[in-house]
């Protein structure tokens, strides 16, 4: 259940660090995963655009639990300049259970090779025009005619990378508000019969997500240590997936913390502005 929720949450959770290629990083960062008050894992995410090939690329790595309850998921997805799907590779590992999906798209059709615990199968299906990989939802909204703005509704159908299925969805963008001292849009996303709240700034950076009614949430943090919270990670796996071990510094949260650290000390006797109250209401936009 947790894996299904996290896969859907990643529709709205992503992150940046320059690569030794022509790809420009759009966003990269670390998010912590909470189950209620418990810190249970982390997400490392990166979006980039290859200007030479005119491709969008989404990469993420998720880890939750420890020992026998440990699960990991990873994704490497590519879309063209209009966000039409080109390919993706998805891998999950939960105990002894493994799943690998290698999908390719051509001429309006998808061919996906699936390996589940060593057993192979193939999925072939036509892809309706306008269908995209769910990991690129925020960028689809940014590129839309309306752009990302208050009081708008986006109807869509997207491919869920974890099962290669196509599901319809809806994203309702509420009014701008303050969340953890950042100005964001609160977005209610309904996808695969689940509802998720996301707090997204005007650049498409996701500050936090909340799977309504489940207690599962994510929060973008300033440093890798805040996200991993002592949990182990494999530098080899991350280098294979991302090309480098992501620093997670190219996002508004990390940059905001750095700016505060570099700011001159406050003059004694100078007025201090009260911090903006922060709330995390689990209500639909507009309510």
Q: Could you give phi then psi for residue 247, rounded to 5 degrees?
A: -85, -25
For the stretch 148-163, pLDDT in tens is 899 999 999 999 999 9
The DSSP H or E segment spanning 185 is strand 182-191
Contact 151, 263 (CB under 8 A): no
Give residue 84's Cα distance to chain centre. 18
Q: In the predicted model, is pLDDT for residue 227 greater than 70?
A: yes
| Tokens 């005619």, residue located | 145
Which pair of structure tokens corresponds to residue 172? 């309702």
Question: Cα(190)–Cα(28) distance, rounded to whole angstroms?
Answer: 25
Contact 144, 156 (CB under 8 A): no
Residue 191 has, within 13 A of its CA and on its CB side, a CA count of: 35
Which pair of structure tokens corresponds to residue 267? 């003059």
Q: How confident is the model at residue 263 (pLDDT cuts 50, 70, 90)?
A: confident
| Mean pLDDT, rounded, for 229-242 | 91
Q: In the predicted model, is pLDDT for residue 147 greater than 90?
A: no
Report the SS3 class of residue 64: strand
């Amino acid at each position: 259940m947790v894996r299904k929720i996290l896969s859907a949450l990643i529709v709205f959770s992503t992150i940046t660090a320059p690569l030794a290629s022509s790809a420009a990083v759009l966003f990269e960062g670390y998010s912590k995963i909470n189950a209620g008050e418990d810190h249970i894992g982390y997400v490392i995410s990166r979006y980039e655009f290859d200007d030479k090939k005119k491709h969008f690329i989404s990469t993420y790595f998720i880890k939750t639990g420890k020992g026998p309850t440990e699960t990991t998921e990873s994704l490497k997805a590519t879309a063209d300049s209009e966000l039409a799907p080109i390919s993706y590779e998805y891998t999950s590992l939960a105990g002894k259970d493994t799943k690998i999906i290698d999908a390719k798209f051509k001429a309006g059709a998808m061919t996906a090779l699936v390996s589940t615990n060593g057993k192979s199968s193939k999925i072939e299906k036509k892809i309706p025009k306008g269908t995209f990989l769910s990991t690129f939802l925020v960028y689809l909204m940014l590129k839309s005619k309306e752009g990302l703005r208050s009081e708008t509704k986006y109807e869509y159908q997207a491919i869920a990378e974890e099962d290669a299925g196509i599901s319809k969805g809806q994203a309702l963008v509420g009014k701008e508000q303050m969340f953890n001292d950042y100005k964001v849009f609160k977005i209610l996303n309904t996808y695969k019969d689940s509802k998720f709240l996301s707090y997204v700034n005007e650049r498409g950076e996701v500050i936090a997500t909340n799977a309504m009614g489940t207690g599962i949430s994510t929060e973008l943090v300033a440093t890798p240590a805040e996200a991993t919270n002592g949990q182990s990670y494999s530098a080899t796996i991350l280098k294979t997936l991302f090309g480098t071990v992501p620093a997670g510094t190219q996002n508004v949260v990390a940059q905001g913390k750095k700016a505060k650290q570099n700011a001159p000390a406050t003059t004694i006797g100078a007025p201090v502005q009260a911090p903006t109250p922060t709330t995390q209401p689990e209500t639909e936009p507009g309510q």
